Amino acid sequence: MADSDQTLRVRPATLAKREQILKAAVEIFGNKGSTNGTLADVAEQVGITHAGVLHHFGSKQKLLLEVLAYRDQTDVAELAEKHIPDGPELFLHLVRTAFANEKRPGIVQAYTVLSAESVTDDHPARGFFEDRYTTLRREVAAAFHELCEQEGVREPATVAAASAAILAVMDGLQLQWLLHPGVVELGEASEFAIQAIVNAVLHPGPTLPTYTHPA
Amino acid sequence: MADSDQTLRVRPATLAKREQILKAAVEIFGNKGSTNGTLADVAEQVGITHAGVLHHFGSKQKLLLEVLAYRDQTDVAELAEKHIPDGPELFLHLVRTAFANEKRPGIVQAYTVLSAESVTDDHPARGFFEDRYTTLRREVAAAFHELCEQEGVREPATVAAASAAILAVMDGLQLQWLLHPGVVELGEASEFAIQAIVNAVLHPGPTLPTYTHPA
DNA sequence: ATTTGCTTACTGTCGAGAAAGTAAGCTTCC
DNA sequence: GGAAGCTTACTTTCTCGACAGTAAGCAAAT
């Protein structure tokens, strides 16, 4: 056990191969979905057989979960500091992310497809996305909290809805952008919508003209 | 050709069976996705075999497309007038739809799953969703146009982004609501976000504090 | 009014082709 | 020489779609 404080498999070439497989899997699962994309598809992209992929990841499900974790990890790594910014800075970070995403349709597609797939029966990634949205909503709500304090606004009851809505609009725009890349401007539209929602929290405007609540 | 101005298959029992199959297919494709859900699954729910389903719909792909058309058709049928309201009324209609959707998770799930699935390679429903979003964005933009005129506001350049954003936020909230039914309030959050975006078009507020555009 | 002829609505069964996972063996690095 | 990184070969399990056959309905002719 001299050097085994790391994982047992420590050869650098091996780690490189694993990463190669993960990148291929992002693309395949993005292009075909995780049910429809096959291990053979992934394997082919890195020049091995599907059994070779299984050698590294054990099962298709384990590969999928590692793919999701891998993307989040590389996302965070892009930030200078190793964590997502707190407070009002978060809104800027989200807008920047939307602009940045225009340059990586593969990853956007993977997340769009897999997150929707995750609501199906017994999907292996369901827990991952549940945790993800819970965490993100909490972070956005915290940013609203700080922003309200900073602006001297009493924190309104709309923060919960606004937090969900900001994540929602980003996801929804990604879908439309994937369907009509030339028509929908991902970054621009995200920026507009996030601004609109932030402003609505800070300075509530008039409600829709003639609408009254049901029940 | 005496009475054959209708379709050849006019038996009422047949139409009822077809509708039964369509409803079952909405549920199955919603619960499992269209790739993962099988003809046998659908058939079982209506007490026939998968070959029986093929008898009625020809192929799995045709069934899928009829399922999508069927939902849109029943959606419109719910409106007293047989078309989606024009003008500013449209925004109210969208909010009401969001509240109504809280009562039918099956259909919401089917649309969420299938729309995301449609961006995958050569998906049979891709064209359907492309047309759908194009049409919906145009309708929302037209509603903005009328609303701006009505309010005496010069129609701003943000209408395109706002139209996409309204559809986006509705879609995205549906996903979160499916993952966390008790936590995310579909109707309420949709209403808040739509209001926020409509207000932002009519009365542009301040932009986000310190953000400057890239490139 | 019943027979004849055709269509509709299935069932049961089959075949082709995927796809995931397993087992066993070969090679290459350390 | 032993483990790591594969491959080849195989098994199992699905799923769609094809096909042939059956039962039952409708419709016109007789």
SS3 annotation, A123-147: CCCHHHHHHHHHHHHHHHHHHHHHH
Assess contact for B68 and B125: CB atoms under 8 A: yes
- pLDDT at position B208 is 60
Does A115 contact B116 at a Cβ distance shorter than 8 Å? Answer: yes
- Secondary structure (DSSP) of B174-211: HHHHHH-TTTS-HHHHHHHHHHHHHHHHHS--PPPTT-
d(C-alpha B141, C-alpha B209), whole Å: 28
Cβ atoms within 10 Å of A79's Cβ, excluding its own: 11
pLDDT grade for B149, boundaries at 50, 70 and 90: very high
- Asked whether residue A11 carries a pLDDT value surpassing 90, the answer given is no
Does A172 contact B170 at a Cβ distance shorter than 8 Å? Answer: yes
d(C-alpha B60, C-alpha A118), whole Å: 22
d(C-alpha A169, C-alpha A158), whole Å: 16
Does B205 contact A195 at a Cβ distance shorter than 8 Å? Answer: yes
d(C-alpha A7, C-alpha A18), whole Å: 14
* pLDDT per position as a tens digit, B59-112: 999 999 999 988 888 777 666 556 677 788 999 999 999 999 999 998 999 999
Listed in order, strand segments (DSSP E) in chain A are none
d(C-alpha A193, C-alpha A196), whole Å: 5
- pLDDT at position B210 is 47
pLDDT grade for B195, boundaries at 50, 70 and 90: very high
Does A211 contact B95 at a Cβ distance shorter than 8 Å? Answer: yes
Q: How far is the CA of B10 from the C1' of C2 (A)?
A: 26
Give the nearest nucleotide to B37, CA to C1': D15
- pLDDT at position A85 is 78
Considering only CB atoms, A205 lies closest to which of B160, B203, B209, namely: B203
- pLDDT at position A15 is 86
* pLDDT per position as a tens digit, A153-186: 998 899 999 999 999 999 999 999 999 999 999 9
CB-based contacts of A70: which residues, under 8 Å, 6+ apart?
A19, A22, A26
The residue with greater pLDDT, A93 or A5, is A93
- pLDDT at position B194 is 98
d(C-alpha B208, C-alpha A195), whole Å: 6
d(C-alpha B50, C-alpha B53), whole Å: 5
* pLDDT per position as a tens digit, A85-128: 778 899 999 999 999 999 999 899 999 999 999 999 889 999 99
- pLDDT at position A28 is 94
| Nearest chain B residue to A167, by CA | B172
- Asked whether residue B212 carries a pLDDT value surpassing 70, the answer given is no
Which residue of B99, B129, B175 is the best one to mutate when testing the A interface, meaning the one whose CB has the most A CBs within 10 A?
A: B175
Q: Which residues of B touch A135 (CB under 8 A)?
A: none
Buried-state track A36-62, b at ≥16 Cβ within 10 A, e below 16: bbebebbbebbebeeebbeebbeebee
- Asked whether residue A214 carries a pLDDT value surpassing 60, the answer given is no
Q: Give, in degrees to the nearest 5, the angle at Cα A178 between B64 and A70.
A: 105
Residue entry with tokens 């008039």: A206
CB-based contacts of B170: which residues, under 8 Å, 6+ apart?
A168, A172, B94, B97, B98, B190, B194
- pLDDT at position B209 is 56
Q: How far is the CA of B120 from the C1' of C29 (A)?
A: 41
Write out the H or E segment, with its range, that includes residue B165. helix B159-179
Considering only CB atoms, A197 lies closest to which of B92, B176, B193, namely: B193
- The pLDDT > 90 percentage for chain B reads 67
The residue with greater pLDDT, B193 or B87, is B193
The residue with greater pLDDT, A12 or A212, is A12
Assess contact for B168 and A175: CB atoms under 8 A: yes
- pLDDT at position A81 is 59
Mean pLDDT of B121-129: 91
Does B168 contact A193 at a Cβ distance shorter than 8 Å? Answer: yes
Mean pLDDT of A6-22: 77
- Asked whether residue A66 carries a pLDDT value surpassing 70, the answer given is yes
Residue entry with tokens 């590389």: A74
Q: Which residues of A touch B172 (CB under 8 A)?
A: 165, 167-172
- pLDDT at position A14 is 82
Does B193 contact A198 at a Cβ distance shorter than 8 Å? Answer: no
> Which nucleotides along chain D are within 7 A of a protein C-beta?
4-9, 14-20, 26, 28
DSSP assignment letter at A214: -
pLDDT grade for A213, boundaries at 50, 70 and 90: low
Q: Give, in degrees to the nearest 5, the angle at Cα B181 between A130 and B40.
A: 85
Considering only CB atoms, A116 lies closest to which of B99, B112, B206, namely: B112
Which residue of A92, A195, A203, A210 is the best one to mutate when testing the B interface, meaning the one whose CB has the most B CBs within 10 A?
A: A195
Tokens representing B195 are 């209001």
- Asked whether residue A80 carries a pLDDT value surpassing 90, the answer given is no
d(C-alpha A106, C-alpha B124), whole Å: 20
pLDDT grade for A215, boundaries at 50, 70 and 90: very low
Burial of residue A35 (number of CB atoms within 10 Å: 0-12, 13-18, 19+): buried
Does the CB of B108 have a partner CB in chain A at under 8 Å? no
- Asked whether residue B214 carries a pLDDT value surpassing 60, the answer given is no
Residue entry with tokens 């992929």: A53
Lowest mean pLDDT of B116-120, B121-125, B182-186, name the range. B121-125
Helix, coil or strand: residue A166: helix
